[in-house]
């Protein structure tokens, strides 16, 4: 079958890598792709948030199945346009993508589904929001309602920070995303991510992961999109995962179906776990990046069969074949990230690295220039390895990191420390 993947980061490189291992894949196109993806698939330039353009491209290229990587095309309704045109699609409808695109919507769904999450209130007016913060006190969490590229959440440890965040959001600091604000109770505990496939009805867990959001070692410094991840997440034990499924995820999926917006695709549940009890922090309607990289390394070729089953409504027949293994990915970023950084530096040493089912360098932000791989983004490489233990996976990942010659890049040396 002919497959199109939308996106061009490390997540999409990992998806492409897993899909290519499955003999069902005859032709794979990734749009826009990147220099690493170009080594295993065809890259195409395409306006991926434009449903009409994507449908035309699929007609021209005789595509059978489309996998949507990032949230923006989902929030723009690209999955709906493709389904209307008769294509099989992995990714939720625009209506169902509101589980990520609107924090207020997700809170309402949790209320209706009786799913444990932080207490909250919702505001469209700064003065009312501030009065609520003064009444509740700190710590407290202020969130822009809409998509804000991961920047719309302020965890305020004191009242002044929370009040300032409200002014900032209603003052337009987060664009349209901040026109509505959700204020939440601060939750204590350990965070972990739970990934599930859904076909509108059946829910199938496909793995757990934890990531490191802070740029500095020991989880210090500025927030990033993620500096590394590992799977499985020890805190999401089988018992805790089952509780999350029974108390949070299945009721959410049932409520979505009841509202006429059944959820199809991957659901990424961010959970806070305290004393063995999970509560929902947020949903994302896509794979995490870099969490996808460790999940794909563990799932391999079966990932395509599972995604197809989700798209075609036959997940009830599927099961995941788990290896009792661990995977880790270390993000190599351009010096300066998540602040200002230079683009265009040359990365050497990649050709001599293994590219196997247990060691892969996924490219997140690279471009080929005159036959050389150069950095074209903040997060640039995802050095990923698998092992019988997390320590094995970590040793293998850093072995590859050490063989990469890129003076303009950096990484954290402590990925996985909480679990090790
Ligand atoms: P979100 O974009 O909703 O995942 O929020 C980003 C991060 O803020 C989460 O990964 C948590 O670390 C933190 N966070 C969000 N909501 C809460 C909450 N209610 N209590 C504590 N931490 C939170
Ligand atoms: N790594 C966090 C995310 O993809 O949202």
Q: How far apart are CA 298 and CA 321, in angstroms?
A: 10
Q: Which residue has the CA at smallest separation from atom 5 of ligand 2?
A: 288
281 lines ligand 1 (CB under 6 A): yes
CA distance 144 to 146: 6
Nearest CA to ligand 2 atom 2: 288
Determine the atom of ligand 1 nearest the C-alpha atom of 152: 2
pLDDT digits (tens, 9 = 90+) for 195-234: 999 999 999 999 999 999 999 999 999 989 999 999 999 9
Give ligand 2 pocket residues (Cβ under 6 A): 150, 211, 225-226, 284, 288-289, 291
Q: What global pTM score does this model have?
A: 0.96
More confident residue, 323 or 150: 323
Q: Residue 175 above 80 pLDDT?
A: no
**Of 122-126, 272-276, 384-388, the least confident:** 122-126
How far is it, in rounded angstroms, from Cα 244 to Cα 154?
A: 25
- CA angle (383 as vertex; 379, 385 as ends), nearest 5: 150
- The ligand placed nearest to the CA atom of residue 295 is 2
Contacts of residue 50, Cβ cutoff 8 Å, sequence gap at least 6: 76, 78
**Segment 245-259 mean pLDDT:** 98
| Closest to 145 (Cα-Cα) out of 99, 186, 104 | 104
Q: Which of 403, 398, 402, 406 is nearest to 334 (CA)?
A: 406
The structural domains of the chain, ordered by start, are 2-93 (3.40.50.20), 119-185 (3.30.1490.20), 190-317 (3.30.470.20), 326-410 (3.90.600.10)
Calculate how far, in angstroms, residue 281's C-alpha sits from the geometric centre of ligand 1: 6
- How much of the chain exceeds pLDDT 90, in percent? 93
At which residue do the structure tokens 């997060």 appear?
A: 379
> Angle at Cα 165 formed by Cα 163 and Cα 169, nearest 5°?
120
Q: In 227-344, where does DSSP find H-type helix?
A: 238-244, 250-258, 291-299, 302-311
Q: For the chain, how big is the Rg over CA atoms in Å?
A: 21
Ligand 1 centroid from CA 192, angstroms: 11
Q: Which atom of ligand 2 is nearest to the CA of 211?
A: 1
Q: How far is the CA of 86 from the centre of ligand 2 (A)?
A: 30
Atom of ligand 2 nearest to the CA of 286: 4
**CA 269 to ligand 2 centroid distance, Å:** 11
Task: Say what the pLDDT of residue 323 is.
Answer: 86
Q: Are strands 27-32 and 140-144 parallel, antiparallel or unpaired?
A: unpaired
* CA-229 nearest atom, ligand 2: 1
Does residue 118 line the site of ligand 1, with CB under 6 A? Answer: yes
Across the range 12-34, mean pLDDT stands at 98
Residue 178 pLDDT class (50, 70, 90 cuts):
low
From the number of C-beta atoms within 10 Å of its C-beta (0-12, 13-18, 19+), residue 39 rates as: middle
CA of 193 to the centre of ligand 2 (A): 9
For ligand 2, atom 4, name the residue with the nearest CA. Answer: 288
């Amino acid at each position: 079958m002919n497959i199109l993947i939308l996106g061009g980061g490390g997540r999409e490189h990992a998806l492409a890598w897993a899909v290519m291992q499955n003999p069902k894949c005859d032709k794979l196109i990734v749009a826009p792709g990147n220099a690493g993806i170009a080594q295993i698939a065809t890259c195409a330039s395409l306006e991926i948030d434009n449903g009409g353009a994507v449908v035309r491209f699929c007609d021209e290229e005789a595509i059978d199945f489309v996998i949507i990587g990032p949230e923006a095309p989902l929030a723009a309704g690209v999955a709906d346009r493709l389904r209307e045109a008769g294509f099989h699609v992995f990714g939720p409808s625009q209506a169902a993508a509101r589980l990520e695109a609107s924090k207020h919507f997700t809170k309402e769904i949790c209320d209706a589904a009786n799913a444990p999450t932080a207490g909250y209130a919702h505001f469209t007016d700064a003065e009312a929001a501030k009065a609520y913060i003064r009444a509740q006190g700190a710590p407290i969490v202020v969130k822009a309602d809409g998509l804000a590229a991961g920047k719309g959440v302020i965890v305020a440890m004191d009242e002044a920070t929370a009040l300032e965040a409200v002014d900032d959001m209603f003052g337009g600091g987060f664009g349209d995303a901040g026109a509505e604000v959700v204020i939440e109770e601060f939750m204590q505990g350990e965070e972990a991510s739970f990934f599930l496939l859904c076909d509108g009805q059946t829910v199938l867990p496909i793995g757990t992961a934890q990531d490191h959001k802070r740029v500095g070692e020991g989880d210090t410094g500025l927030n990033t999109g993620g500096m590394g991840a590992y799977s499985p997440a020890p805190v999401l034990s089988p018992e805790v995962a089952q509780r999350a499924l029974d108390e949070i995820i299945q009721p959410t999926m049932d409520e979505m179906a009841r509202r006429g917006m059944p959820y199809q695709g991957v659901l990424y549940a961010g959970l806070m776990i305290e004393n063995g009890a999970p509560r929902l922090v947020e949903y994302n309607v896509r794979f995490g990046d870099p969490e996808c990289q460790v999940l794909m390394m563990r799932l391999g070729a079966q990932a395509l069969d599972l995604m197809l089953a989700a798209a075609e409504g036959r997940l009830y027949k599927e099961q995941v074949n788990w290896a009792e293994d661990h995977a880790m990915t270390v993000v190599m970023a351009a010096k300066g990230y998540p602040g200002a950084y230079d683009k265009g530096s040359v990365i050497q040493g990649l050709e001599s690295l293994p590219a196997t089912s247990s060691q892969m360098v996924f490219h997140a932000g690279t471009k080929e220039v005159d036959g050389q791989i150069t950095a074209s983004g903040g997060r640039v490489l995802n050095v990923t390895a698998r092992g019988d233990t997390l320590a094995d996976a970590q040793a293998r990942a850093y072995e590859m990191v050490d063989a990469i010659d890129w003076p303009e890049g950096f990484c954290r040396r402590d990925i996985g420390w909480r679990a090790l």
